[in-house]
Each structure stands twice: as structure tokens, then as C-alpha cells.
Amino acid sequence: MSFRSFLLLILLLNYTQCANILAIFNAPSKSNIILGVKLAEGLIKRGHHVTMASPFVSDPVDGLTQLHLKTIYDYREKLYRANAITTMNPFNIVKIMIQYWTEVSDLFWEEPAIQKIIEEKPKFDVVITFSVFTDAISGLAYHLGVPSIFFSPVGSNNLVNYYVANPNMVYVPNMMFPATSNTFLARLYTVTANIGMHLMAEFFITPYQRDLLKKYLPDCPSLEDLQKNVSLMLMNSHFSIESPRPHVPNAIQIGGFHLDQTKELPEDIKNFLDSAKQGAILFSMGTNVNVAIFGEEKLKAIFKVLGELAPMRVLFKSEMEHKNAPDNVMVKKWLPQADILAHPNMRAFISHGGLGGNTESVYHGVPMVGIPFYGDQRMNIQVAKSAGYAVGLDYEHLTEDLFRSKINEILENPRYGENAKKRSALIKGQLIKPMDNAAFWIEHIIKYGSGSHLRNDGMDLSWYQLYMVDIYLFYTVFLCLISFITYKTMKVSYRFLRRICSKNPVKQKKS
């Protein structure tokens, strides 16, 4: 083969391999966006071009076009500053969720960058979205005439399973209202919570999404048809960080995909950790919970206990200034969490239990003290506790003594560290690297134009058909009928026999 034809071949190969991918990460959650950017980076490394629409702009990356959804960012900042998203009451959660996603949807469709995509229909090969509670977005893939891939930042659960008819098993805890056992009552609780969340979506969120679809993409098929046309669901999960559960062939687990490469730490943090010979702790409530939520008294208790740990060192993420922080504590507004957890001197991670933090903790084998607030955080901490690499703590009951005893438990009992290391080995020891797996499946969908060969027939069944409610009902009615007929027949035969017997005087005498 001549050099020129070799070059031509390379060009051709590149031509078929380089795809133009549109990723829409509209949820105003920084941790989601971090995942989105990492996914984009992984795809770019494989020669693709990614256009990403999101409320947060990351540092520029070659091959990544960023579309800033600024109005969603502003809305999120307003809520974040007001600490409005933190509440434990289920009715408040539901009310706030509905209002939140309605607002975010409105803002999304009015964004100039999205309007431009609708008008100009730029050429893409596939659209990746995280569209839970903002389902109308699935219309964009149809509008552009390309397959759509759903990205779930929290693994499979009752809110996303229907995209690919992945079964909702009763032993998979409800994400927001997790049960702790498999007793009848616990299962009843799980199913009730699942139904409750579905009814909420069905009555308060989906109708609005239908209206949005009609308003902004009037030529689209119905929302239901769009939802049934998702080619693939990528899930940021793995059995090392959640309870094992079934997955249909187009539900692909890629948990850990964003952790393959650790970046160099900023100079000051690196020095701080390198010289922490007695070990270091990271305190971070993630990107959505404000440290201010603890209030003055609890923060004082927290800092007192952390101060006592010296010469151990503590990295503390906080949006506030803490003038009286002890000398062994370094306070920062933002910290590269995953890269910090990768540092060999890390001994513990005090976390709110977001899935991102959980995954990073498991990946790098650092045990946790979990202080969950809302969403899936309680479930994540529960899973981590039962896997033996975490202790939990209720933030409402946080006192100096309790906080001290939990930290000491994690630092002094080697069991937690050992379990964290074991989980780390599980997530790192996969046959295929999670990012390679993600890229393979995205390319698979691009290559074959859709995912119809992966689609299971459950996609065309109603919930009562998929979960065999109609069959069980049929059998219940059938068995009732049979029992009834048997009973009636026996009764009639008995009467008949008695009548015969009473006509037989010999027998009567004998008895």
C-alpha cells in the first residue's frame, strides 16, 4: 500500500469514526455537569466532536463547543443562595420539585442557544440528554432526525427505567424514600413511594411537558412516542456503589467513567496534603448543599472536633468565610474532590452522600462519614453503610459529641478502610474500562442508526402488562370462579345424596 493510499485510508477511517454529538445537560446541578464534561472529554479523546448545552461553563476543552444556558444558571444561583432546595418533608420536596422543574423547563426552551438549534437544525449524529422531569427535551433528537441516548446520573431507578423498559424490582430501594429491609411492610413502602412519584410526574409534570413540546416543536409525535424511542440508557452506576439489580441490554452501567484519570492538584492543596504525614480528611457537602445550612452552633462544634484532630489535616469546602477555623483546617470555596480523594494521605471523607462523592470515595478507597440531606443522598449513605465503608449522621441531631464519635469510629476501626479498599478493587477491576464501554455503546448507536435491535418488547406494554397485573388478575378471577363452581357443585351433590339417602329406609334404620 502506498503512503498516499494509507493516508487516504486513515482519513476515511477518521471520517466514519468522528461523530458530531449534541449533549444536553440542562439540570442545574454542578455535579451532573462535571459528569457531562468528563463524558464529553472521553468522547473527544476518541476523535468525536461534542457540543454541550449546560447551565455551567467549564474550562475550555479542545473539541468541545459549550452552549451556556445562562438563565438556568442564574435561577440556580438564586435558589442556592437562598438555601431553598434543602428540606426533608416529602410534601415540601414534591412541591419544590414541581416548581423547580417547571421553571427550569420554561427557561430551557427560551434559551437563545436552544432556539438556534431548533431553527437551524445543525447536523448531529446523536443527542445525549438527561431529561428526567424535563421530558420535552427528547423532542430535540426527533427534530434533528437522530437517535437519542438517555444519561442517568444516578443509575437505574423507578423514574428512569421506563425509557428502556428496565424492570422496577421491589428490592431496589426508592431513590428518595429508601426502605431498609425486605419485609412486607418495607416492600409496600417501596412500591407506594414508586407509585407516588409516578403519579406526581404523571399529573404535575408530564402535562406541562406535553404543552411545551406542542409549543416549541409542534411537528413532533406525542411525548409518549418519543419516550418509547430512546435508543440507549447510560447509567452512572456500578454494583460496587449500589445494590445489584437487573439491566436490559440497552441499559448500560458506566459508573466510574469520570475517574479514569487523576489530574495534578493545585500547588497549595498538594503541599498541604503531601505534608499531612498523620493523614488528611476532606469535608465537602458537594455542589448543591450550602455549609450555612448547619447554622452557627453546629459549625462551631464541627470546627472544634476537626481542630482536635491535629496534626491530622482537614480540607474544608465552604462557600463561607470561617475566620476562626483551626490551624490544621484549610477552607476553600471549591475543591477538586476526586483528585483530592486520590491522594495517598486521605483517611476519611465527610460527605453529604451525593452519588458523585460516593463513587469517588469508593473508587479511591476512602471511607466516609455521611451527612445526607435530600434526594438520593440518604439511600447512597445507607448503601455505603451496609457495604461497611461508611457511618451515617443525621444533620439535625449533629452535636459535638456525636460528630466526634463518628469521626473516631471511622479513623480508629480499620474495618471501614478495608471495606472501602475492597470496593475500590471492584470498581477498578472491570473487564472493560467504563469510559471505553460508554464510548463503545454511543458509537454503536451512531453506527447502526438507532437501537431498535436492542429494544425489548416491554417498551410497547403498559405498566400493568409489563408487571403481569392483568395476568394475575385473570388468574385470581379464574381461581375464584373455579372455587365458586366447585363449592356450588359440591353443595348440590351433597343435597342430592342426602335426598337419595333419606329415601333409603334401610340405611336410616342402621344409623
Give residues in contact with ligand NAG (CB under 6 A).
142, 147, 221, 225-226, 229, 231, 450
Residue 300, C-alpha cell as written in the block: 462551631
Kindly state the smallest distance separating residue 229's Cβ from ligand NAG, in Å.
Answer: 4
Least distance (Å) between residue 455 CB and ligand NAG: 10
- Give 348's DSSP letter: E
Q: Residue 313 pairs with which residues in a beta bridge?
A: 280
Among 390, 389, 451, 461, smallest CA distance to 425 is for 389
- Minimum CB separation from ligand NAG for residue 148, in Å? 7
Query: CB 252 → ligand NAG: shortest distance, Å?
Result: 16
**Rg of the chain on CA atoms, in Å:** 28
3-state secondary structure 95-118: HHHHHHHHHHHHHHHHCHHHHHHH
Q: Is 117 exposed, middle or buried (0-12, 13-18, 19+ CB in 10 A)?
A: buried
**Burial call 48-74: b when 16+ CB within 10 Å, e when fewer:** bbbbbbbbbebeeeeebebbbbebbbe
Cβ proximity to ligand NAG: between 448 and 463 the closer is 448
Instruction: Give the nearest distance from C-beta 313 to ligand NAG in angstroms.
Output: 52
CB of 142 to ligand NAG, least distance (A): 5
Helix ranges (DSSP H) in 429-510: 434-447, 463-466, 469-502, 505-510
Shorter beta-carbon distance to ligand NAG: residue 217 or 302: 217
Widest pairwise Cα distance in the chain = 116
CA distance 142 to 468: 31
Residue placing its CB nearer to ligand NAG in the complex, 142 or 272: 142
Peptide bond into 414 cis (omega under 30): no
- Comparison of 225 and 268: residue with beta carbon closer to ligand NAG: 225
Least Å distance, CB 137 to ligand NAG, is 13
**CA dihedral defined by 267, 272, 273, 275, rounded to 10 degrees?**
120
Determine the length of the chain: 511
Query: What does the DSSP assignment read for 4-31?
Result: HHHHHHHHHHHHHH--EEEEE--SS-HH
Residue 124 CB, shortest distance to ligand NAG, in Å, is 12
Residue nearest to ligand NAG (CB): 450
Which residue, 232 or 383, is less far from ligand NAG as judged by CB? 232
Nearer to ligand NAG, 221 or 246 (CB): 221
> Minimum distance between the CB of residue 217 and ligand NAG, rounded to whole angstroms?
11
Taking the complex as a whole, the smallest distance from the CB of residue 230 to ligand NAG amounts, in Å, to 9
Q: How far is the CB of 157 from ligand NAG (least distance, A)?
A: 24
Which residue, 345 or 450, has its beta carbon nearer to ligand NAG?
A: 450
Q: Toward ligand NAG, which CB reaches closer, 45 or 121?
A: 121
Q: Please identify, using beta-carbon distances, which residue of 71 and 450 lies nearer to ligand NAG.
A: 450
| Distance in angstroms (rounded) separating the CA atoms of residues 304 and 315 | 14
Contacts 24+ apart (CB under 8 A), 57-64: 58/33, 61/37, 64/37, 64/40
Residue with smaller CB distance to ligand NAG, 77 or 225: 225
How many contiguous H segments (helices) and E segments (strands) does the chain have? 20, 13
Least Cα distance to 281 among 316, 330, 327, 314 occurs for 314
The residue (of 250 and 351) whose beta carbon lies closer to ligand NAG is 250
For strands 20-24 and 148-152, give the pairing.
Answer: unpaired
